[in-house]
């Protein structure tokens, strides 16, 4: 009997450590259909599609990420689902997308597992990052050619069990649909 319990315990540990897709910070999940709403009301930044069940809201405070200011928040209204925050450069000096990403990862939040890569965003080139600060974060920065501004989109704050199910699909839709 004791041997059987030990074997089950070892099997459980082995299975728990198996390559779960949730350990890959660059994982992709199914992208939801757009609900017809966009982030066009966020101001002179790029436009992205918003999935059903999500809404675009004005921020309730003036937030800053690096040199960029928040323009709008995309939310389900449930804090456990996390939010997608949209930031925009407001000065005549337009930082590069890579600089925006690097500046947005606040060292005061003790970030770990930081990874930054060049990527395609919509039909243009940009930069994307993942990092952990007690929860998974993912962001992209994009140079909006039509307004010569840099846009930052951060998916953050989701409870672990809601990240793959709710926040990541909405973020991936934004990344796929971004355009000037």
Give the count of beta carbons closer than 10 Å to the beta carbon of residue 90: 13
Cα–Cα distance for residue pair 68/74, rounded to 1 Å: 17
pLDDT of res. 3: 44
- Check residue 9 and give its pLDDT: 35
77: left (phi over 0), alpha (psi -120 to 50) or beta: left
Counts for the chain of helices (H) and strands (E), in that order: 4, 10
List, for residues 148-158, the tens digit of each pLDDT value. Answer: 888 899 999 99
pLDDT, greater one: 125 or 42: 125
144 Cβ contact partners less than 8 Å away, ≥ 6 residues apart: 44, 45, 46, 150, 151, 180
pLDDT band for position 44 (50/70/90)?
A: low
Mean pLDDT of the chain: 83
* pLDDT, tens digit, 9 for 90 and up, residues 95-136: 889 999 999 999 999 999 999 999 988 878 899 999 999 999
What does the DSSP 8-state code read for residue 21? G
Please give the Cα distance from 25 to 137 (Å, whole number).
Answer: 9
- Nearest to residue 55, comparing CAs of 81, 25, 31? 81
Report whether pLDDT(21) > 70. Answer: no
User: Hey, what domains does the chain have and what are their CATH numbers?
Assistant: 33-177 (3.40.1000)
What pTM was estimated for this model as a whole?
Answer: 0.83
Q: Which tokens hold the place of 14?
A: 């082995």
Nearest to 52 by CA among 28, 31, 73, 22: 31
DSSP category for residue 60: S
**177 in helix, strand or coil?**
helix
In contact, 156 and 132? CB cutoff 8 Å:
no
């Amino acid at each position: 009997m004791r041997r059987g319990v030990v074997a089950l315990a070892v099997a459980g540990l082995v299975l728990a450590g198996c390559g779960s897709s949730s350990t890959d910070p660059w994982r992709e999940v199914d992208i939801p259909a757009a609900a017809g709403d966009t982030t066009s009301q966020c101001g002179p930044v790029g436009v992205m599609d918003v999935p059903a069940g999500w809404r675009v809201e004005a921020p309730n405070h003036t937030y800053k990420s690096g040199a960029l200011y928040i323009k709008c928040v995309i939310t389900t209204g449930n804090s456990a689902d996390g939010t997608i925050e949209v930031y925009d450069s407001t000065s005549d000096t337009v930082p590069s997308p890579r600089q925006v990403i690097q500046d947005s990862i606040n060292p005061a939040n003790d970030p770990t597992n930081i990874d930054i890569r060049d990527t395609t965003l919509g039909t243009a080139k940009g930069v994307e990052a993942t990092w952990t600060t007690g929860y998974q974060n993912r962001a992209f920065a994009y140079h909006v050619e039509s307004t010569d501004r840099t846009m930052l989109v951060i998916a953050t704050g989701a409870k672990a069990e809601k990240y793959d199910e709710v926040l990541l699909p909405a973020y991936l839709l934004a990344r796929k649909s971004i355009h000037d």
